[in-house]
Amino acid sequence: TLQSYCFAGYKVLSSPKCEDWLHVGQAGPLEELELTFALKQQNVGRVKDLLELVSDPDSQHYGKYLTLEEVTSLVKPSQLTEKVVLTWLQSHGVKICHTVHTQDFLQCSMTVQVAETLLPGTEFHRYNRDGQTVVRSSSPYSVHDDVSQHLDFVGGVLRFPPKGREVSRGWAGTGRSGSGFHLGVTPATIRTRYNLTAADVGTAANNSQAVAQFLEQFYHPADLAEFMILFARGFKHHTEVERVVGTQGGGKAGMEASLDVEYIMSTGANISTWVFTNPGRHESQEPFLQWMLLLSNMSAVPWVHTISYGDDEDSLSTAYMNRINVEFMKAGLRGISMLFASGDSGAGCRYLKKENNVFRPSFPASSPYVTTVGGTSFKNPFKISYEVTDYISGGGFSNAFAMPDYQVKAVNAYLKDEQALPPKSYFNSSGRAYPDMAALSDNYWIVSNLIPIPWISGTSASTPVVGGILSLINDQRFLKGLPSLGFLNPQLYKLQGTGLFDVTEGCHLGCLDEKVEGKGFCAASSWDPVTGWGTPNYPILLSALLHS
């Protein structure tokens, strides 16, 4: 399932997304905060151009990735920007700041009193939910004009931490026929359906993959070991995570955390795996932002990252999303593949007055600089058959980002069949369209708190599966002396469906109103905004991506 951020500002307490945050009271003037200042970067246009060159298999620069040092020399803020921001902070008595390797973020500690003077309009309050406490401003901030031109945004002020919503249980959903009798999806099911043999495991020494989690929940090493004993006997695999970055808290294991780790490690079997987990060091931190900062501060990070996190585009500022996109571009320049779950709300819906409803895209799923993964179900739930749309599979068209060149031809082909489309008023047909590909997202088995649990569903199941498959392809590329896949989309769209099972049946959820009656987009041959190009046929996809 997609984790959701509440967006504060004036609507914090009236917003249905935030109503489960209980207002505790005003924060004391001497309480400590840690705020993140995103400094304006240089050469953003050049970063975009370079990413296109290193990601395009027809370019002579393909695969010629940059080191963190080279990325730093491109994007690091100008001396003027650094000077203006630091002078502004120091003039307000802010002395403790840490930067990252790329020098484009500053994390600074200060009291509430100082923060409210520094950022006029803010008023920090304490909020509580399920035992988790955060400090956020109940109203928007402003920054002096002389300084604002040197900043993209300030983090830790408005956006609320993720909602700890559990992955959905198949039998609790509607319209899932025969869930109770389904044999369930296990690593063996995944391997059979996507044509992986027992020999398809990692062997390259320099390969690695990662999951990133922003929920206040953790995986248990004992669960992973038990899962592998129960479900991974037929192939070589690791039973332990190589490295945990962040703080693994105590308490019960979370189903989301268990699912991510168990399926990336059983699909991308025998490959070194990292877990980036919620640092949770401070009540004013944003876990997703903390992870982005970590990537800008580590010279060696895994080649594939899978993330099940998202938010409604319309709840985030354009400045914030644009800056996060640059962070994704920076990762792509380094040869890192970023995979995001497309979400579990179909096309989504923003209910407006007079039934002028519109579909509601999700970010970062809608980012042009990540590979977004949708979900499928088996047509026949009693055997490994062909796949159809999983009605929860997130997909649609961005309202914030234009359609990137790499997908124009594929998406326009889909849009030509106007009879099959929802009314044009529901979506922005010129926006970035997603997902890019898909995998099974329905009725998974996991082990959590040492108990095998069936019927776990969501695109946070399909995303680590696709991540593991891309890691296996990276593995074979490394053995042949080729670079990592990096930002996959330009290459994926050039394949035009080669190496993927086309999903052509089924529709996903949309607005519950008279015009669309709960229906969003529908699957079609070739690319569609429910399952992208389809699901992986490993040997053919491997062959296609080894020859690029």
State the catalytic residues. Answer: 256, 260, 460
Q: What gap in Å lies between CA 232 and CA 190, rounded to an integer?
A: 11
Rounded Cα gap, residues 473 and 485, in angstroms: 8
Q: Which amino acid is at 345?
A: S
User: What CA–CA distance (Å, rounded) separates 239 from 167?
Assistant: 23
Contact (Cβ atoms closer than 8 angstroms) between residue 123 and residue 28: no
Q: What single DSSP character describes residue 520? A: E
Contact between residue 331 and residue 306 where contact means Cβ atoms under 8 Å apart: no
Instruction: Please report, as a single letter, which amino acid is at residue 447.
Output: V
Alpha carbons 209 and 243: distance in angstroms, whole number: 11
How far is CA 367 from each of CA 10, 95, 98, 321, 432, rounded to the nearest angstrom? 26, 35, 28, 8, 7
Pairing of strands 500-501, 535-536: antiparallel
What one-character-per-residue DSSP string does 48-78 give? HHHHHHHH-TTSTTTT-PPPHHHHHHHHPPP
Contact 516, 510 (CB under 8 A): yes
Q: Is 381 within 8 Å of 177 (Cβ atoms)?
A: yes
| Nearest-angstrom CA–CA distance, 460 and 260 | 7
- Using alpha carbons, select from 346, 391, 392, 341 the residue that is nearest to residue 367: 341
Which residues are paired to 444 by β-bridges? Answer: 185, 456
The token pair that represents 452 in the structure block: 């095998």
| Other CB atoms within 10 A of residue 408 CB | 14
Instruction: Specify the 3-state DSSP secondary structure of 468.
Output: helix
What would the two tokens of residue 420 be? 């099959």
